[in-house]
Every structure is written in structure tokens, then in C-alpha cells.
Structure 1
Amino acid sequence: MLISIEQLLNFWLVKYPGESAALGAASLWALSSVVYGSLGKEISPIYLNLLKGAIAITLLGLTLLVRGELFPAMTTTNLGLLLLSGAIGIGLGDTAFFAALNCLGARRALLMETLAPPITAVLALIFLQERLLASVWGGILLTVVGVAWVVTERVPLTENYPVNLRKGIIWGIIAAICLAIGGILARAALVTTSISPLWAALLRISAGVVSLLPLLRIEKSYFVCKPTLRVVVGISLAAFMGTYLGIWLQQTAIKFTEVGIALTLTNTAPLFILPISAFSREKPSIRAILGAAIAISGIAIIFYF
């Protein structure tokens, strides 16, 4: 008996809700990163992060209002963990990533993000006692290697080359560490509470935005930055895809699967850029295709072994 695509998708979503959400977030972040990369020279990282956060908060608030979801009952400890995870992972982490994006370009900045999964898995092992099987560790390693191989490939001269390699590497490492710590803190809160992914996303993004406000005092470009219509539309589109939907899906992934696995799968975003490149008349190379196959093999190991 033949199985329809709809039945296959339903089985996949029911069997692997966390993993499916993580891959959905990765695809949306790939799309939004293309937009953010085109805006990086027109707006500072702090201001960009602040605007995208404000837009996402508005969208999440309206969604919760329409759905009629009341503020969930949760302990002060869990609330504090979620807020702290947002301040570190979204406030500091995303700002550092945007800074790395400006210094390194999208390809190398995404490469630095692949440092987050192993950092996260080690921290989860230490602080959350999440015992990952050897096969899962192998899958994580294989996925990271595949992604790294794709994004480190030499590209045509049309790509913007790094303007400050050392500074970009530092920002990239900071972003990866912040992402890992934010994921650990969020996981610690989500596994012991019934809070919905929507509320978790709203709380984390709100904390991220609030954590940026003191930095505006030292951000000189905040006073002179006058976003054009192109910038506003671009940030709105990217915030809807990457921050509103992407963070929502990420919170779902963290809630329903181990944080090391969730962060590994959400870091497959560079793989989803391959079909985007095809549409932009940039034919993916053999190395890019092989790297994608290696990463997908790692994902299969994580799922089935």
C-alpha cells in the first residue's frame, strides 16, 4: 500500500516534533540571513537586533491575543531562566552574530555558528545531565563537519570578503557561546514547565530587547541612523521569518528534544541556502552538494540510531 506524502509528513511531525521544528527554524533562518546580510552595511548590529526584536514582540503579542493564551503559571526560577536565556542568547548572541556578519560575510559568519552545537552538548552534559548516546555524538560531529565544509568553500569574487578577520572571529565565537548558553538556560526552564513555545519566545525576545537598551547609550549610530523604506521592509520581512516564526519553532524544538540535538539541527541553516543559490543562478558546486549529503547523513544518524 502506497503511503501518501501527507501521511508521511504527518508521521514525521508526530514522531519527531522537536526535530521537525528545528529544521523548519533552520530553513527560515537561512532565508532571513540573506536579507540581514544585504542590510548589514546600512544599520548597526545593535539597532538591527533591537528593531527585529520589537517587530517580533508585536507579532507574538498579537498572536497570543488572538489565541487567547493567558500568561502561564510558572515559578520565579523558571521565569528568571527564560529571561536570562533571552538576554544572553538573543540580546548578546544575535548582536554578536550581526557584528560577525559585517566583518566576515555570511559564509564565514555561518561557519562560526556551527561551534554552538558541540558547546551546547557539552554544557548540557555537565549541567542538565543529558546523556547523549555515542551514535548521537557521531551524528552531531558529522552534521557539523558537513555544514562547515559547505560554508568554508571558496566562492566567486562577487561575494563580499572579510573586512576584519580577527574581529569577526572574536564576534563569531562570542555569538556561538551566547547561543549555547541561551539554549541551555531555556532548556532548563522548558523541561520543568508547561509554558507554550509562543510565550517562551515572547519572554526571551523581550528580555533580549531590554538587555540592548543600556547599550544604546554607547551606540553612536543609534542617534544618526535613519532607516530607509528598504531597510524597514527588509527588517520586517526577516523578523517575521527568522525571529517570529524561527524562534517559535526553536522553542518548540528545545521543548521536545535534547538541546544538543535541537541546536545541531537548527545550525543546518547554511544547507538551506543551496536551493536559494540555485534560484539566484548560482549553481551549487560538487563540494557544496557533498557537504550537504554529509550533514544530512549526520541528521539521519541522530534520528534513527
Structure 2
Amino acid sequence: MHYEWMALGAAICWALGSLISAPASAHLGAFAFTRWRMACASLMLWSVALISGSWQSLPVDQLWLLALSGVIGILIGDTALFASMNRLGPRRAGVLFATHALFSALLAYLFLGEKIWGWTLLGSGLLVTGVMSAILFGKRSAEQHHWESSSHQLGIGIGLGLLSALCQAVSTLMLKPLMETDIDAIAASAVRMSTALICHLALLWLGFKVARVYLPLNGKVLAMVAFNAFLSMGVGMTLILQALKQGDAGIVAMLSSVSPVVVLPLLWLVYKRRPALGAWLGAALTVAGTVLILKH
């Protein structure tokens, strides 16, 4: 599979995961939800790595880099994303998280020397514009679902969403040189996930109030957490790491940022509300941009 399709596959996984995770995150709280999600994902990833023997590809002298990437991208980034989602809802948090494509392209240019020119640059511009338009202008005035309502914590939510995007960009770009070696993507994901989980558990054991569970975990919530862990952290993040083996970090980030557009038809399917005209226009720009990137 080409790296472009891996990045798009990750975007789909994240879109499905964000839709599923919103009720569970609100139930448990951002920290507790992320902790349980990482525990499920770590168990899944290490099981595959141990059974397949791919753990042997892990370079001992580079484990610190994987661990640091996990702390930045998962511990800080994911927790900030779901804290933002709890304040803004999945749509608005999604558009803020989508800015990780811009952060990634800029950082890849500054530190990795990657450049985006010609039709690929035009496609990237259309894609980012489409994603932003679909979210910013995709809401109908009659929509009153609690995920879409205004929040008195709007400023905090925006800050957390941008922080999650920056952490996502930094953590993946850190791994670009390492992923070009023979390291296995699933084993690498397992190390990153386990490191972030240990840090989360430390916060809980040290008695930080923010790390406590809002409401007790039940079977329904656990099922949502486990499914989200499989989709977003297990499949999605592994696809991103595998894509980094083959392609430019900036392009991978651009294509993986379309998840907010994928969320729109999913919300339509679940809540039976047709997206507004802005959502359709944004989706059209996103598709056009994606096609240009894939063709060039």
C-alpha cells in the first residue's frame, strides 16, 4: 500500500474514533479516558509485537526517542485533544487538531528540508482550506446538540486544541529519520504507547486531581474505549508510522488531516442531519486537494 493511502486510512480511523470517543471521554474525563485508552492500545500492540517477533527490530539506543515522542504526542497531545473535545465538541476540536498539517509542513521544511511545490502545493492548500471550511461553515443554525453548543471555556478549549496539534506534529516528525530504518511500526507504537501510559499512571498515583475518573467505568464505556484504542491508536497511529517510512512527513500530515471532513457524514448518519452548504463546499475542496496530491 502506498504511503498516501496509509495516511488517508489513518484519517478515517481517527474520524471514527473521535465520534465513538466523545461520550466516553465526557464520562471518564480526558485524563482517565486517555489512560484507559492507552492501556487497551498497549495491550493490543504488545500482543502483536510479541507474537510476530517484531519487537526484535527495536533499536535499544533509540528507545529514548520513541519514549519522548510518546510523551509529547500521546501523553500531552492526546490528553489536550480530548480535554478540548470535552469543551468544544468533536467538530470544533477536530478543526483545531487539523492544523497539525500546517505545523508539520512548516517543521518538515525547517528541520528535514522537505519542500512542497507545484501541483502538490496547490493540492495541499485546497485540502487544508477544505478541511477548515467544512468545519467552520458546516454548522446549521438549527443544530442544538450539546457537542455543538457554545462553551464558556471556549478560549481554554481553543488553546488545548492547538496544543494537541503542535504536539502531534512534533512527535511524528521526531520519528521520521528513525522510521526510515528497519524498525517495525507496530513495535514502535507499542513503546510510545507504554511510555505515555506509565506517565499517566504516575500522575494518578501521585494524587493529581485532574487524573481522577469523573464517573465509574462501566461495560459500555469500556467497550467504547477499547474500540477507540484499536482504531485510533492501534491502527491509525501504526499506519502513520508506516507511512513515514515511505513518504514525506509534510504530505503524510496533510492527508491525515482530513479526518474532520470524514466526521461530517458520520454525524449525518448518526443524527440524521444533512451537513450545511459550507460542509459540502469544504468537502469538495478537500477531495480536490487530495486528488491533486495523490496524482502528483
Do they fold alike, i.e. is TM over 0.5? yes
Gaps of 5+ in 2: none
Percent identity over paired residues: 29
Deviations 1:96-129 (A, max 9, x none): 0001001111111001012111111111111111
Quote the residue 2:39 is aligned against: 54
- In the alignment, the residues of structure 2 paired with residue 220 and residue 175 of structure 1 have an alpha-carbon distance, to the nearest angstrom, of 17
Quote the residue 2:191 is aligned against: 203
- Indicate the SS of the match to 2:200: helix
Quote the residue 1:172 is aligned against: 161
- In the alignment, the residues of structure 1 paired with residue 179 and residue 55 of structure 2 have an alpha-carbon distance, to the nearest angstrom, of 17
Q: How does 1:1-305 map to 2 (within 5 A)?
A: 13=1, 17-72=2-57, 74=59, 76=61, 78-152=62-136, 153-155=138-140, 156-160=143-147, 161-163=149-151, 164-191=153-180, 193-216=181-204, 217=206, 218-220=208-210, 222=212, 225-280=215-270, 281-305=272-296
Whether contact under 8 Å (2:261, 2:283) holds in the other structure is: yes
Cα distance change on mapping 1:219 and 1:260 into 2, 3 Å: farther
Whether contact under 8 Å (1:81, 1:188) holds in the other structure is: no
- In the alignment, the residues of structure 2 paired with residue 68 and residue 222 of structure 1 have an alpha-carbon distance, to the nearest angstrom, of 36
Whether contact under 8 Å (1:105, 1:162) holds in the other structure is: no
Quote the residue 1:7 is aligned against: none
Cα distance change on mapping 1:73 and 1:28 into 2, 3 Å: closer
TM-score computed with the length of structure 1 as normaliser: 0.88
Whether contact under 8 Å (1:109, 1:172) holds in the other structure is: yes
- In the alignment, the residues of structure 2 paired with residue 162 and residue 210 of structure 1 have an alpha-carbon distance, to the nearest angstrom, of 35
Structure 1 residue 75: Cα displacement:
5.8
- In the alignment, the residues of structure 2 paired with residue 70 and residue 154 of structure 1 have an alpha-carbon distance, to the nearest angstrom, of 45
Deviations 1:117-174 (A, max 9, x none): 1111111111111222243333222111101111112241124324210000110111
Structure 1 segments of 4 or more deviating over 3 A? none
- In the alignment, the residues of structure 1 paired with residue 150 and residue 197 of structure 2 have an alpha-carbon distance, to the nearest angstrom, of 28
Whether contact under 8 Å (1:278, 1:284) holds in the other structure is: yes
TM-score computed with the length of structure 2 as normaliser: 0.91
Aligned-residue Cα RMSD (Å) equals: 1.8
More deviation, 289-298/215-224 = 215-224
Structure 1 residue 63: Cα displacement:
1.4
Aligned pair count? 288
- Indicate the SS of the match to 2:125: helix
- Indicate the SS of the match to 2:82: helix
